Amino acid sequence: MKFQILCFLLLLACMYPSLAQGSYENCCLKYGRIRKSYKNHIERYRLQETDGGCNIRAIVFKMKQKTFCADPKEHWVQQLIKQINEKNNV
């Protein structure tokens, strides 16, 4: 009986790291492009870093029901961030 409990605990200990790795964050996996008509409807953005479970650095633009990921190095992304900041500071 003790051996069975020991095996069960060992099995749980082995499964725990795989379960922890399976819980992914809400990460961008690739970059996309935003349609021009969507640019006026963006409410906010956030920076995704490569720490934790996310593999790429990205700007995540958030609309009411949609989310877009973009490369922070792109010129149009930097311009859009400026526009959003100006709009929100008014």
Residue 19 lies in a domain: no
CA 16, CA 19: separation in Å to the nearest integer?
5
Range of the domain at 70: 25-89
The model's pTM: 0.65
Residue 5 lies in a domain: no
Please give the pLDDT value at position 6: 67
Choose the weakest-confidence range: 1-5, 20-24, 50-54, 85-89.
Answer: 20-24
Residue 64 lies in a domain: yes
Residue 13 lies in a domain: no
pLDDT-based confidence at residue 1 (cuts at 50, 70, 90): confident
Residue 18 lies in a domain: no
Q: CATH number of the domain that 77 lies in?
A: 2.40.50.40
Residue 50 lies in a domain: yes
